Amino acid sequence: MKHSIRKLMLVSFTGLIFVMLISIFCINSWFLEQYYIANKQPALREVYDVLEEAVEEDVLTAEGTRNTLRGMMERGNIRFCVFERRNMDMALASASQDVEILSRQLLGYLLERNTNTDILEEAQEYKISKGVDMQTGSEYIEMWGDLPNSYIFIIRSPLESIRESVVISNKFLAYIGVGIILVAILFVWYFSKKITDPILELAGISQRMANLDFDTKYTRGEQNEIGILGDSFNRMSEELERTISELKSANNELKRDIAQKEKMEEMRTEFLGNVSHELKTPLALIQGYAEGLKEGISDDAQSREFYCDVIMDEAGKMNQMVKNLMTLNQLEFGDKDVQFERFNLTELVQGVIQSCDILIQQKEVQIQYLAGEKVYAWADEFKVEQVVRNYLSNALNHVDGERIIEVKIVEEEGLARVSVFNTGTPIPEGDVEHIWEKFYKVDKARTREYGGNGIGLSIVRAIMESFHQEYGVHNYDNGVEFYFTLDVK
């Protein structure tokens, strides 16, 4: 990403370290010498105090004084000479091999010949300056002035050593700085990755939530602000899934109520007419065979048994039709609450196929089940199972030819399409638009043969319309395909 947090952190922290190193380099180059001079002045004053006390006590050349001064000279890289004002050819005390040079430098100060001098501190007894040796051209910090008993002195410490230290220090900083920057880049990259990876994961979860996929959860579980944010995402996902389920249920209920009021009276009238028509034939058969048994039309036991079988068969068909009518009546008039839930559609279809295994073997049918990965859908799981079972039963009752039934689930454009295809004779075009009507039968003789009453597809229609989803049938040269769709989001 162009404005990645990881890149911004990497550039920002690396730049900050680089700026800090450059700042240290500049401070080291510009201010270290001044800091050195400021800290060297107390050392010069300390030597002066020792010299002053030694002169006053007349122990300037004593062994103890020499030892004390020698230690101070070595620690501070300091040289000094003490002269009598009337005779500067011979030093009374010194800690330098360049007595002559110090003598000329002191004389230059006394006669004010040293013009290239920068006075740093001035007191009644002494002055401290930063100057250049007239003979060697080297720079020093020097202190000169008067001591008791008409003595004069000069104390100096070279500045070349500190400048060499600055150069060496800057080189060292350059080498170390490169290493620090490289190590910093690695550390910043690692810690930025630790920060941005959870953020990217949360971004991915939010995108999936935007597409109404609530299965993914944040599982890193860090005990920090990002972990708290991840827990909030998980709770929000659960609440959104529950709320969407409630909204779908409420929306579906509103649509159904509007449509149901318009159709209710018409459906009741149609229902009574169809029931009367469907019950007329089995009741007539039952009545006829029962009267024949009562009047003793046949004394043959086998004939009486046949009469009883017909009566029981017709009564069973009527019982099944009544159950289907009750189911259909509940769908169309009574069951107003369609509970939408998210369920595994592939497992449901596979379960229906397995439950019909005995019937499939009896009819010698080859089942082809085509489905990819798990497909989750939104609907009433129990009613979807009724639809799949009706389609599969219908296919088993009408399969012919190669005796193949193909059950397929395809996910496309936010919908799951479930289809059941069976080889056999296509439905006549004139009957296609009527097969969803209650009690409609394409082949009445064959329908009666397996006990059908023309209600199964009406139940399918009622269920799918309660879901406000598509359903239908397609004819092919070698068979018929029934299908329906469900939301996956």
106, 154 contact by CB (below 8 A): yes
User: CA 427, CA 292: separation in Å to the nearest integer?
Assistant: 39
Tell me the average pLDDT across 278-282.
63
Q: Which residue has the higher pLDDT, 179 or 375?
A: 375
Measured CA distances, 224 to 166, 227, 237, 262 (Å): 45, 5, 20, 58
- Residue 420 above 90 pLDDT? yes
Tell me the average pLDDT across 162-179.
75
State residue 337's pLDDT score: 65
- Give residue 276's pLDDT band: very low, low, confident or very high (50, 70, 90): low
State residue 456's pLDDT score: 81
State residue 187's pLDDT score: 78
User: CA 206, CA 198: separation in Å to the nearest integer?
Assistant: 12
Residue 414 tokens, joined: 């936010």
Tell me the average pLDDT across 85-90.
78
HEC assignment per residue over 317-375:
HHHHHHHHHHHHHHHHHHCCCCCCEEEEHHHHHHHHHHHCHHHHHHCCCEEEEECCCCC
State residue 320's pLDDT score: 64
- Residue 428 above 80 pLDDT? yes
- Residue 6 above 70 pLDDT? no
- Residue 447 above 50 pLDDT? no
Residue 324 tokens, joined: 């289907």
DSSP bridge partners of 481: 421, 474
Tell me the average pLDDT across 90-111.
78
**What does the pLDDT look like over 14-59, one tens digit per residue?**
778 778 878 877 877 777 777 777 888 888 899 899 988 888 888 8
State residue 450's pLDDT score: 45
Which of 86-100, 350-364, 437-451 tops mean pLDDT? 350-364
- Residue 326 above 80 pLDDT? no
β-sheet with 126-132: strand ranges across: 87-94, 79-84, 151-158, 139-147, 126-132, 117-122
Q: Which of 46-50, 158-162, 247-251, 426-430 has the lowest mean pLDDT?
A: 158-162
Tell me the average pLDDT across 229-245.
77
User: CA 233, CA 246: separation in Å to the nearest integer?
Assistant: 20
State residue 448's pLDDT score: 45
State residue 403's pLDDT score: 93
State residue 367's pLDDT score: 93
C-alpha 382, offset from chain centre = 35
Which 8-state DSSP code applies to residue 379?
E
Q: Which of 185-189, 224-228, 261-265, 267-271 has the lowest mean pLDDT?
A: 267-271
Q: Which residue has the higher pLDDT, 248 or 205?
A: 248
- Residue 423 above 70 pLDDT? yes
483, 461 contact by CB (below 8 A): no
Provide the mean pLDDT of the chain.
Answer: 79
422, 398 contact by CB (below 8 A): yes
State residue 317's pLDDT score: 64
Residue 240 tokens, joined: 């959104």
Q: Which residue has the higher pLDDT, 137 or 83?
A: 83
Q: Which residue has the higher pLDDT, 180 or 227?
A: 180
- Give residue 446's pLDDT band: very low, low, confident or very high (50, 70, 90): very low
